[in-house]
Structure 1
Amino acid sequence: MVSFLDHVRKIQSSRKRRKEETPSKLFLQNGSLLLEKLIAASNGKYDVPIQSFTAKELMGATNNFVDNFHTGRFSNICRGSWQDRPILVKKFIGYTVVVPSDTVYDTLSGVVNDIATSAQMSHHKNVAKLLGCCLEFNHPALVYEYSGDEHLLDALLNSNSNRLLSWKSRLKIAADIANVVLYLHTAFHTPIIYRILNPRNIIVDKYDVAKIFDFSFSISLPPGKMQIHDDVIGITGYFDYDYCISGLVSQKTDVFCFGVFLLVLLTGQGALCTDQEGDQIHIVEYVKDCISRNEMNEIVDGRISEREEIVLNPQQLSVFIDLALRCSQDWGKDRPNMIDVAKELLEIRRQW
Structure 2
Amino acid sequence: MKATNNFDECQVFMRAGSFDMYKGSLKDCPIIIKKYYSFSVKNYDIANSCRHLAYKDIAIGSSMSAHRNVLKVLGCCLETELPIIVYEFGGTKFLKDKECLSPLPWKCRLKIARDLASAIAYLHTAFPRPIIHRDITPHTVILNRNNVAKLIDFGRCISIPRGESHVEDGLRVTSFYGAPEYFKGNRISEKADVYSFGRLLLELLIGETLYDFCKKHNKRWVEHKDLSSDIVDSIILTSTNIEIEQEQLLDFKTLVIRCLSTDEEQRPTMIEVGKQLSKMYQSLQSPH
Normalised-by-shorter TM-score class: 0.7 to 0.9
Q: Is the 8 A contact 1:95 1:106 kept in 2?
A: no
Correspondence for 2:266: 334
Q: Is the 8 A contact 2:4 2:22 kept in 1?
A: yes
Distance 2:15 2:47 in 1: 23
Correspondence for 1:139: 82
- CA distances 1:283-306 after superposition (whole Å, capped 9, x unpaired): 3x1xx3334xxx41x222233345
Shift of 1:149: 4.8
- CA distances 1:263-282 after superposition (whole Å, capped 9, x unpaired): 01111222334459841332
State yes or no: 1:115 paired with 2:58.
Answer: yes
Q: Which runs of 5+ in 2 are unaligned?
A: none
Secondary structure of the corresponding residue to residue 348 of structure 1: helix
Shift of 1:105: 7.2
State yes or no: 1:316 paired with 2:245.
Answer: no
The root-mean-square deviation of aligned C-alpha atoms, in Å, is 2.5
Correspondence for 1:60: 2
RCO higher in structure (CA 8 A, sep ≥6): 2
When residues 325 and 104 of structure 1 are mapped into structure 2, their CA distance, relative to the original with a 3 A threshold, is farther
When residues 196 and 103 of structure 1 are mapped into structure 2, their CA distance, relative to the original with a 3 A threshold, is same
Distance 2:129 2:190 in 1: 11
Secondary structure of the corresponding residue to residue 304 of structure 1: helix
Secondary structure of the corresponding residue to residue 87 of structure 1: strand
Q: Is the 8 A contact 1:274 1:281 kept in 2?
A: no
How many residue pairs are counted as aligned between the two chains?
277
When residues 251 and 95 of structure 1 are mapped into structure 2, their CA distance, relative to the original with a 3 A threshold, is farther
Correspondence for 2:27: 83
Q: Is the 8 A contact 1:252 1:337 kept in 2?
A: yes
When residues 119 and 319 of structure 1 are mapped into structure 2, their CA distance, relative to the original with a 3 A threshold, is same
Shift of 1:230: 1.4
Q: Is the 8 A contact 2:57 2:153 kept in 1?
A: yes
When residues 173 and 274 of structure 1 are mapped into structure 2, their CA distance, relative to the original with a 3 A threshold, is closer
- CA distances 1:35-88 after superposition (whole Å, capped 9, x unpaired): xxxxxxxxxxxxxxxxxxxxxxxx111012221121122211010101111110
Distance 1:95 1:228 in 2: 28
Q: Which runs of 5+ in 1 are unaligned?
A: 1-58, 97-101
State yes or no: 1:303 paired with 2:245.
Answer: no
State yes or no: 1:196 paired with 2:135.
Answer: yes
State yes or no: 1:71 paired with 2:71.
Answer: no
Shift of 1:201: 0.6
Distance 1:118 1:290 in 2: 36
Query: TM-score normalized by structure 2?
Result: 0.88
Distance 2:101 2:199 in 1: 24
Correspondence for 1:265: 204
Correspondence for 2:153: 214
Q: Is the 8 A contact 1:273 1:282 kept in 2?
A: no
